[in-house]
Amino acid sequence: MNPATRAAVAGARRSPRRLLLTGLAVLVATVFAAGAVLLTATLREDLTDGASSLPDGATFAVEAGGSHGGSTAAAAATTAVVDRLGAVPGVSAVSASRSGPVPVVAGGASGSWMLTTDPMTGPLHDLAPVTAGSLPADPGEALLGAGTAERTGLGPGDTVGIGDRTLTVAGVVPARSEYGDLLVVPDGDPAAAGLYGTRIAVAGSPDPAALTATPGVTQVRTADEQRAADLASASASANALLAGLSVFVALALVAAAVVVASTFRIVLARRARELALLRCVGASRGQVTRSVLAEAALTGLVAGLAGALVAVAGGWAALAAAGAAGADVPALSVPWGRLAGCVLLAVVVTVLAALAPARAAGRTPPVVALGAADATGARAPRAWVRLPLAGAALVLAVVTAAAGIDAGEPLLGTAAAALSGMLVFAALVVTGPFVVSGAAALVAPAVARRAPGRIAVANARRMSRRTAAMTTVLSLGVGLTAALLVGVAGASADARASIERNYPADIVVFPGPGEQDVPALAARLDAAPELTARAERGTVLVDPVPGADPVAVRTVVVREAGDASVTFTAELREQTESAVGTVRGIGLGLVGVTLFVAVVGVGVTLALSVSERTREIALLRTVGLSRAGARRAVAAEAALAGAVAAVLGVVLGGVYGVLALQATGIGSVTGLPVGQLAGVAAGVVAVAVVSSVGPMRRAGRIELAHGVVA
């Protein structure tokens, strides 16, 4: 280890706070990356346990022609194949499960429930032990999902209506997965005749060739082969989730890299005299550069290890809390190899971010050791280098965006829009100092009357690269948030318009396979005193009369509709809004990590800049600036960075939100969510100011004596 590197490591040991501040953004990004790895590993482990719907007692899985259909003919064909398989020598049991949504009348719990079948007994049953009541013993009995029983208050002895049939609840059973209301009926129950089928399970030790030769059978697999195929499909889902999360992890790491580069630039500017002294005692440029990179690697290693440990502790705590609340949660799966990869990624990102500041530190001349070091952040950016690069990135962004719109493929369009957005962000990073200087000049007249405002504007213009680092990472987070809000608003508006267009009544009845006379069905429904109905375009549109009891309306519609499919428009709207809200919440949570990294960057940059400007602030105190004025100057600088980021992020994010909608064809924006975008902009400015509370307090505590002490 060369002397310069030993000095850097010793400095990090003497000043762990500096190491913490420099690596804080990397720590946050690593927590996110490690959390994504833990989530997908745990999900994959959970899916492995329940990936296959094949019962434990099955020895073969059989596919039959038409067994997956939902028509009466398909059900009859499946029944015939099951009967033939049951006659094959060596077969001890055969089961063909069916499942699907059905309209159920159960008092206030009426609506669309999931109906599924099960043999209930024997080697092919796939039920957990009942927790209340007993298994169905007579035709017309069914089992209720445990979650459904808890939500609806129904239990053994209660009844539910499906079409013109009434089923009695015999017992309550825990379900493997129950995301809605669930009802389980025995195999062959008429209520499941029109539902879609799954594969046929066979128990026993028959000759596979005999199963294959059975009329109507199209494929035979052993149970192990089928479970392996199901597991591969489930793992593919987990891998797709990890790929999606990786995009947001990459964005968080990009934001962290920008913050790290800025903080290293500030730290090295403050240590310019120390680096010059190393040059005076014989350290070469390369040794100084390598010492800074060694410090960066140490910072990344510490931040990466801390981030991985925080992610593991957080995942364990979250699952423990969910389990204590009564949720059925899996055990946390910890892939140590992948977590080590996250730590290595943190080191690589930190070293790459510190590369440019390290090279600049290596160029520090020994003569600097003879005088006070000036902050390198005050050096004017080189326009002749930056502007052509930014122009080239913008041209490529426009070309890429146009190609995405013309691609005609949603996936290609989305990828092109994302690439175009990253090119614009790159141009913003390059031109950030000029943008900040221009914004500061623009607001200067408005804040010229108060000293804190003048100081903040002057610092933003003099230290434009430092302020630009705060602004660019904030604008990335704001832009992603704005694009998400615009995209979700467009998709939601399109979904609502589609519902209004396709479901122009409170209740829409689609005739089933056996119902050909739509006017007759409409007449039967219209004859009910609670309803008004009309036939239109092959469907029956039903509206309740004013003041009609909702439960009575549902009961009459489901009873009279028979095999017809019934859609309650209000429920469809509620499901759509719930789905949109879920997508918005997940998206904002993922984007919020990048925004959080940016806010951390604001706090870290301001904290380091206040430390760097101790003498400057003390001199200002000497000439009359109060403690409150020093604090307000720091807050004003944070507010300026937040305001510039809010404007840039909202404008660019709105543009790319519309671009993504056009490229994917998912929806169209008839009106931007102006209120939400304004709220995001105001919130970012407020959060930026809040993140400066620590630096504000530090600035207010600087004594006048620092102005005359080096």
pLDDT, tens digit, 9 for 90 and up, residues 167-213:
999 999 987 665 668 889 988 788 777 677 667 888 999 988 888 88
Q: Which of 259, 293, 282 is nearest to 8 (CA)?
A: 293
Residues 375 and 473 in one domain: no
Residues 182 and 315 in one domain: no
CB 566 within 8 A of CB 557: yes
Asked if the structure places residue 371 within a domain, the reply is yes
Bridge partners (DSSP) listed for residue 536: 539
Banded model confidence at residue 110, pLDDT cuts 50, 70, 90: low
Quick check: 709 pLDDT over 50? no
Quick check: 373 pLDDT over 50? no
Residues 317 and 445 in one domain: no
Q: Give the DSSP letter of residue 449.
A: T
Residues 542 and 573 in one domain: no
* The pLDDT value given to residue 374: 47
Per-position b or e across 282-297, b if 16+ CB within 10 A of its CB: ebeeebbbbbbbbbbe
In which domain, by residue range, is 553 found?
516-561
Q: Give the 3-state secondary structure percentages of the chain, helix then strand then coil, rounded to 5.
A: 65, 15, 20
Asked if the structure places residue 356 within a domain, the reply is yes
Asked if the structure places residue 222 within a domain, the reply is no
Bridge partners (DSSP) listed for residue 217: 64
Asked if the structure places residue 657 within a domain, the reply is yes
pTM for the full predicted model: 0.74
C-beta pairs of 398-405 under 8 Å, 24+ apart in sequence = 401/659, 404/659, 404/663, 405/659, 405/662, 405/663
Residues 538 and 577 in one domain: no
Residues 594 and 529 in one domain: no
Residues 146 and 265 in one domain: no
Residues 271 and 357 in one domain: yes
Asked if the structure places residue 540 within a domain, the reply is yes
Q: Which of 294, 291, 297 is nearest to 274 (CA)?
A: 291
Asked if the structure places residue 219 within a domain, the reply is no
Q: Give the DSSP letter of residue 106.
A: B
pLDDT, tens digit, 9 for 90 and up, residues 57-76:
888 988 876 555 455 666 67
Residue that terminates a domain, selected from 543, 561, 579: 561
- Dist. CA 332–CA 42, nearest whole Å: 6
What average pLDDT is seen over the chain?
81
Residues 553 and 495 in one domain: no
Residues 356 and 461 in one domain: no
Residues 553 and 578 in one domain: no
CB 10 within 8 A of CB 289: no
Residues 489 and 620 in one domain: yes
Indicate the number of domains in the chain: 4
Bridge partners (DSSP) listed for residue 232: none
Asked if the structure places residue 399 within a domain, the reply is no
Asked if the structure places residue 675 within a domain, the reply is yes
Distance of CA 40 to the CA centre of its chain: 13
12-21, 185-194, 643-652: range with highest mean pLDDT? 643-652
In this structure, which amino acid lies at residue 500? E
Residue that terminates a domain, selected from 146, 179, 203: 203
3-state secondary structure string, 406-417? HCCCHHHHHHHH
- Dist. CA 431–CA 113, nearest whole Å: 56
